[in-house]
Structure 1
Amino acid sequence: MYNSDLRGKPRKRDTYWSTDMTVKATTMLSEADGYDLLRQFNVPAPAFEIVQTPDDAAKAATKIGYPVVMKIVSPQIIHKSDAGGVIVGIKTDAEAKEAFNKIVTSAKAYDASAEIKGVIVEEMAKSGLELIIGGKIDPAFGRVLTFGLGGTLVEFYKDVGIRLLPCDDEDIRSLIHQIKAYTLIRGYRGQAPLDEEFLFQTLKNACDFFEKNVNVVEFDINPLRLYEKGGCAVDARVIVQDEPVELPAHYDPAKIVPLDYYKPRSVAVIGASDDPTKMGYAVFRNILQFPGKVYPVNNKRDEIQGVKCYPTLSDIPGHVDMVVITVPAQLVPAIMSECGLKGVKMAVVITAGFKEMDEDGRALETRMVEIAKNYGIRIVGPNCLGLILPPFKLDTTYVSTSPLPGDIAFISQSGAIVNAVVGISLSEGSEMGYSEVVSVGNQCDLDFLDYMSYAARDPHTKSIILYVEEIKNGVAFMEMAKEITQTKPIVAIKAGSSKRGQAAAASHTGSLSGSFDVYMEAFRKCGVVPVKTLPGAFQVAKALGDLKKPLTGRRAVVITNAGGFAVLSNDYAETWGIEIIDLPKHIIDELNTFLPPFWNKNNPIDLLGDATEARFRGVFDVLCKNEDLWDMAILVNFPNKVLAPDRVAQILIDNSKRTDNLLVGTFVGGDCLKPGVDLLKKNNILVFEELEFTYRALGHLSWTADR
């Protein structure tokens, strides 16, 4: 909806920024054009006029009303202050004329080739809290809104939050409350509160502006000055392109692969080998455990690893549902044609040498995909470790040992990470098994969405872990993830949090809302839980998968018989964002009726080392009657002679039936507490054996409560 009639319409020569050669050329509007565009959506801007002479500057300033600000208007001069192109506090006609001459002279000295379109004379906004509102197009997730503390030190403070559009009212209000500077908006140390409702409406208008102006690539309003009543946009940059911005496509359920594609009755390995140094050897060795029919294909052998071998796929007498391809890349298109004639449904292409290598490899991959589409074949990979479905004993990879079956689906953009998680499965035993393990490779056909969709429909899967480097279509990913997380948790490790190597952004908005931040906001919005380590991913996925009740907030009550653990709980809770609430007076009064007079009368509730079952049960009686005050109750136990661990566990089990809030056990003390831990696990009560990790895991779990 970019208004092509705006004054000072940018020309091709004004182009100054583009992300890469495939992106259409982009242009920054003049400040005046940016103001005009924002005003169409009721985003406040100062009165202004563009002038060409010193006398006109004085006339415009008189008309607007002193004091005024004057700035250079030049497409080539982006940072006006650096060029001496801004003068503030002009109070008279004489000062206006002098300022005009000084600004033009400084701009020419700064860049002699710059086109001077004039000087803008603006109403000088009074001082106020300086904020920033910005927007940019993320290639994966679409429109991103940025808001936070603004001004010249915006990158220094980095007190900003982001939201993905579209935003509802709750999203916008939570964004305002999220920044540390909200304390200043609310009123700090006796100062009057600022106009939060005006700010909310301005952010809402900015969202409307960004969504309806389909040619806008990026913008920032910095600063937006906020007052006790109202506010004003002091400066604005708007970057547009000639054609509408292409946004990522929506999730299309019709493209999801039927489940039977993943459940072959027969599998052939193209390039199977008897040579232990060959990939085809390891792949076929793993396929041998598959209970269906298996066929090695190699034109130089009659038998592979004790199984009759066929020279070509076509020579196999029976039907083949799935093939695993390990031969060189240049042979794969022809093999794909053979697969089509054979009626193969799915091809796992382990082979590398495609688009990840060079342009020839890209052309080879394109040809392979075209052939597969013509026959309706779906492709895993290429350049991947492969697909493992442990419940069906289907392992198409070349890992050294197949993982144990279980209830976690692991989908990875790294083959090396898949090797690691298989090892974790074997070291952890049956508690860490998998329902699906996928190395996605180049994702020339099947991608994250397809494998997530399989896990969502698979009855063996309780939870899903993703190792993510880059998601191509973030919009479709969010739509699918939001649907899946209603019934199954998704945990994600996002690689690439470092800012090293990122290109300099064209605006404050671009530098403040980096790619990693956008992923984190996308995860929050669709209910995906981010973690930083593999052990953390498995612990959180297991905990979420076993949860009978969702976590609804961060407010916690801690009950323990160990004073040291009470002190540590405060430290760990603060680190991981768990709010240990203050107990209201009426709760303390009721606890006083049955607890010893020397209990700590605080939260965490220290019941002392001689705590009996009656004390624990009495506390939970009070909590269950007042469950609106808390979201989770954490019982921290240690080995002692007073109370057996299975009796402590039974307290949690019994009270879990009395409340919809989350009850958690932390049993710190090793094997002597194992009876209690095992009993809690058997009854699907969340239990941990290390105190710090309890709060770390709960901090991750509470991410889902922030949606």
Structure 2
Amino acid sequence: MVPDELFAPESVAIIGASRRKGSIGRTIVENMLRYGYEGVIYPINPKAKSIAGIKCYPSVLDIDDRVDTAIIAVPACVVPSVLEDCGKKGVKCAVIISAGFREVGEEGARLEDDVLSIAKKYGIRVVGPNCMGVINSAPSIRLAGTFAPVLPSHGNVGFVSQSGALGIAILDYAEEINMGISKFVSVGNGADLGVEEMLEYLGNDDDTDVILLYIESMKKPRVFVDIARRVSRKKPIIAVKAGRTEAGARAAASHTGALASSWLVVRSALKQGGVIIASSVDELFDYALAFSLQPIPRGRRVAILTNGGGPGILATDACVSEGLEMAKLSMETVQKMRKILPSIASLKNPVDVTPMASIEDYENAAKCLLSDDGVDALISIFVPPTYIEPADVAMAVSRASEGGNKPVLGVFMGKGNILYDVEHVRGRRIPAYLFPESAARALSAMCERAEFLARGERDEIAMEIKYDVLDFVGDKHGVLSLNQSLAIAEKMGFKTPRYVFCAREESLQDFAKKNRISAGYKGCC
């Protein structure tokens, strides 16, 4: 269980705070101040009286008041002693930024085990080691226990990462596309608190509506499935798995020191847990934008609104390729559009309002399409002529979707800065993509979640069967034996022939004679 003190501490000790600008310890102090942390900061450095204008302490034991959380950024060899001091002080959580543990080999692994033993001795919950830290963007907390150069704006997306470096890039990109983050944690080696515990915490977090995961290894696939199944009923979980190839798995193992999990095992665990799998970080964000801004669809029928024939055709191909259906527009919808749109507009799906369309044309057409009972979702495409601003189109389509329960995704094709202009429009509520293929993939992922929720709770026997397979493949990395296959088939309710495994043919003949049956045999080697 993740203590509340990790993301909402009233006081934080930064052990390894430094006067040297650019150092990790100094950057963490500056980030806490810059982000506006609402609690008390205690820099710890035996050689400094103050850091960044804040009184410094030689040790956490020299602080008179309570310390909830310690952020540790000292050489690996010093970590056990400072964690011992934290235990004596009654610190609840420790975020160990320091590297040099399991990820560097046997000696580092022993050091990590020592750290974990000390933590268990005092009941300290640990994030890391070898991590980037934690962030809570809630206005009442504003915790920036990290050395990341970019700190996120407040939002409803939680992120758990097994990579610190990728975490930095993700925070940077989230800020670029104006996607707010509720909480961020880099678990590093995951010696104590790992992906599973953080997933459960975010599942119960009122500030988080969408959960993103970057996974390199999965230590406890069965535990993950149990937690993910519960959480995914309440909010979408989207994950990208690194190390899917043999070479990538070796790189992942050297990164955090964890044995890389088979892609087959991890994929099975993610699917069983109702997790949506993204194939890349780019796709991860495409999905996150859609889920964080729009409701999930009730079906796969999509209408396309465009001001160019070519983009409309590309979108159609993309939608069909992603398993979506082109909605059949009702005669009522067609007649309504005929009265309000230019006479040259094509009123079949995809609806082409032509490059001459006005802002009002976009808004009116979107309203008509969204009111059609045969339409479950809308993809609006805009290729900018010189006299209409993309941001105005985004707002028009947003207005058309107000009060509705159908998802609307926007595609704004053009130069790279066109998305920036749209994404930073105040009041915009639709996700914006540069190409139709991205919007189609995101919408398909939303349909996948809708279908997952519609299925209801999975049958427990079916889950036990999947666990049997998951445990075997996870342990053996092989193929189910005949014995295991038959046992699973019986559990599923299939009738199977009576069978017995004999070491020798003579034993089989004796068995058949004793039971007065004819018997066949299959040789196994």
- TM-score of the superposed pair, with normalisation by structure 2: 0.70
Q: Pick the aligned partner of 2:18 from 269, 273, 285.
A: 273
The equivalent of 1:704 in structure 2 is 449
Q: Pick the aligned partner of 1:407 from 122, 147, 156.
A: 156
Does the 8 Å contact 2:236/2:449 carry over to 1?
no
Tell me which structure has the larger Cα radius of gyration: 1
1:482–1:565 distance in 2 versus 1, CA, 3 Å: same
The equivalent of 2:301 in structure 1 is 555
1:517–1:307 distance in 2 versus 1, CA, 3 Å: same
1:285-324 residue pairs with structure 2 within 5 A? 285-289=30-34, 290-324=37-71
- Report the CA distance between 1:342 and its aligned residue: 0.8
- Give the residue type in structure 2 aligned to 1:603: N
**SS of 2:233 mapped into structure 1:** coil
- Give the residue type in structure 1 aligned to 2:436: L
2:171 aligned with 1:422: yes
2:270 aligned with 1:545: no
The equivalent of 1:662 in structure 2 is 407
Q: Pick the aligned partner of 1:482 from 225, 229, 236.
A: 229
The equivalent of 1:366 in structure 2 is 113
Q: Pick the aligned partner of 1:569 from 302, 312, 315.
A: 315
The Cα offsets for residues 486-523 of structure 1, whole Å up to 9 and x where unpaired, read as 333222221123244889xxxxxxxxxx9334434443
The equivalent of 2:352 in structure 1 is 606
The Cα offsets for residues 132-175 of structure 1, whole Å up to 9 and x where unpaired, read as xxxxxxxxxxxxxxxxxxxxxxxxxxxxxxxxxxxxxxxxxxxx
- Report the CA distance between 1:443 and its aligned residue: 1.0
CA distance in 1, matches of 2:108, 2:410: 54
**SS of 2:99 mapped into structure 1:** coil
The equivalent of 1:355 in structure 2 is 102
2:35 aligned with 1:284: no
- Report the CA distance between 1:440 and its aligned residue: 0.6
- Give the residue type in structure 2 aligned to 1:461: T
**SS of 1:395 mapped into structure 2:** strand
Unpaired runs of 5+ residues, structure 2, are: 251-260, 453-525
CA distance in 2, matches of 1:527, 1:624: 30
Aligned length: 435
1:447-526 residue pairs with structure 2 within 5 A? 447-500=194-247, 515-526=262-273
1:329–1:662 distance in 2 versus 1, CA, 3 Å: closer
1:195-210 residue pairs with structure 2 within 5 A? none
1:378-393 residue pairs with structure 2 within 5 A? 378-391=125-138, 392-393=141-142
CA distance in 2, matches of 1:325, 1:302: 19
**SS of 1:557 mapped into structure 2:** strand
CA distance in 1, matches of 2:361, 2:275: 40
CA distance in 1, matches of 2:48, 2:424: 55
- Give the residue type in structure 1 aligned to 2:318: Y
**SS of 1:432 mapped into structure 2:** coil
1:261–1:693 distance in 2 versus 1, CA, 3 Å: closer
- Report the CA distance between 1:667 and its aligned residue: 4.7
- Report the CA distance between 1:412 and its aligned residue: 0.9
Q: Pick the aligned partner of 1:436 from 177, 183, 187.
A: 183
The equivalent of 2:145 in structure 1 is 396
Q: Pick the aligned partner of 1:634 from 376, 379, 396.
A: 379
- Report the CA distance between 1:368 and its aligned residue: 2.2
- Give the residue type in structure 1 aligned to 2:159: F
- Give the residue type in structure 1 aligned to 2:47: K
**SS of 2:160 mapped into structure 1:** strand
Unpaired runs of 5+ residues, structure 1, are: 1-255, 504-513
1:569-588 residue pairs with structure 2 within 5 A? 569-581=315-327, 583=328
CA distance in 2, matches of 1:553, 1:275: 57
CA distance in 1, matches of 2:11, 2:411: 47
**SS of 1:348 mapped into structure 2:** strand
1:321–1:571 distance in 2 versus 1, CA, 3 Å: same
CA distance in 2, matches of 1:467, 1:600: 43
1:414–1:702 distance in 2 versus 1, CA, 3 Å: same
Does the 8 Å contact 1:649/1:679 carry over to 2?
no
The equivalent of 2:514 in structure 1 is none
Q: Which one has the bigger helix percentage?
A: 2
1:167-246 residue pairs with structure 2 within 5 A? none
- Report the CA distance between 1:299 and its aligned residue: 2.7
CA distance in 1, matches of 2:20, 2:337: 75
CA distance in 2, matches of 1:273, 1:538: 35
- Give the residue type in structure 1 aligned to 2:315: S
1:678–1:390 distance in 2 versus 1, CA, 3 Å: closer
1:552–1:473 distance in 2 versus 1, CA, 3 Å: farther
- Give the residue type in structure 2 aligned to 1:384: C
CA distance in 2, matches of 1:296, 1:308: 7
The equivalent of 1:212 in structure 2 is none
Does the 8 Å contact 2:3/2:93 carry over to 1?
no
- Give the residue type in structure 1 aligned to 2:349: N
Q: Which one has the bigger strand percentage?
A: 1
- TM-score of the superposed pair, with normalisation by structure 1: 0.54
**SS of 1:396 mapped into structure 2:** strand
- Report the CA distance between 1:346 and its aligned residue: 0.6
The equivalent of 1:527 in structure 2 is 274
**Identical-residue share of aligned pairs (%):** 34
1:91-240 residue pairs with structure 2 within 5 A? none
CA distance in 2, matches of 1:357, 1:364: 11
Does the 8 Å contact 2:68/2:93 carry over to 1?
yes
- Give the residue type in structure 2 aligned to 1:303: S
1:587-602 residue pairs with structure 2 within 5 A? 602=348
1:467–1:562 distance in 2 versus 1, CA, 3 Å: same
Does the 8 Å contact 1:412/1:467 carry over to 2?
yes
The Cα offsets for residues 663-697 of structure 1, whole Å up to 9 and x where unpaired, read as 444454689999x9689973634554543432233
1:550–1:502 distance in 2 versus 1, CA, 3 Å: closer
Does the 8 Å contact 2:337/2:368 carry over to 1?
no
The equivalent of 1:326 in structure 2 is 73
The Cα offsets for residues 431-452 of structure 1, whole Å up to 9 and x where unpaired, read as 2342222211111111112222
- Give the residue type in structure 1 aligned to 2:439: T
CA distance in 1, matches of 2:365, 2:284: 35
Does the 8 Å contact 1:313/1:339 carry over to 2?
yes
Does the 8 Å contact 1:488/1:545 carry over to 2?
no
- Give the residue type in structure 1 aligned to 2:299: G
1:558–1:680 distance in 2 versus 1, CA, 3 Å: farther
The Cα offsets for residues 84-105 of structure 1, whole Å up to 9 and x where unpaired, read as xxxxxxxxxxxxxxxxxxxxxx
The equivalent of 2:508 in structure 1 is none
- Give the residue type in structure 2 aligned to 1:370: S
**SS of 1:449 mapped into structure 2:** helix
Q: Pick the aligned partner of 1:341 from 56, 81, 88.
A: 88
**SS of 2:102 mapped into structure 1:** coil
1:365–1:619 distance in 2 versus 1, CA, 3 Å: closer
- Give the residue type in structure 1 aligned to 2:286: Q
CA distance in 2, matches of 1:656, 1:328: 54
1:276–1:520 distance in 2 versus 1, CA, 3 Å: same
1:258–1:649 distance in 2 versus 1, CA, 3 Å: same
1:500–1:305 distance in 2 versus 1, CA, 3 Å: closer
**SS of 1:492 mapped into structure 2:** strand
**SS of 1:634 mapped into structure 2:** strand
Does the 8 Å contact 1:632/1:661 carry over to 2?
yes
1:433–1:663 distance in 2 versus 1, CA, 3 Å: closer
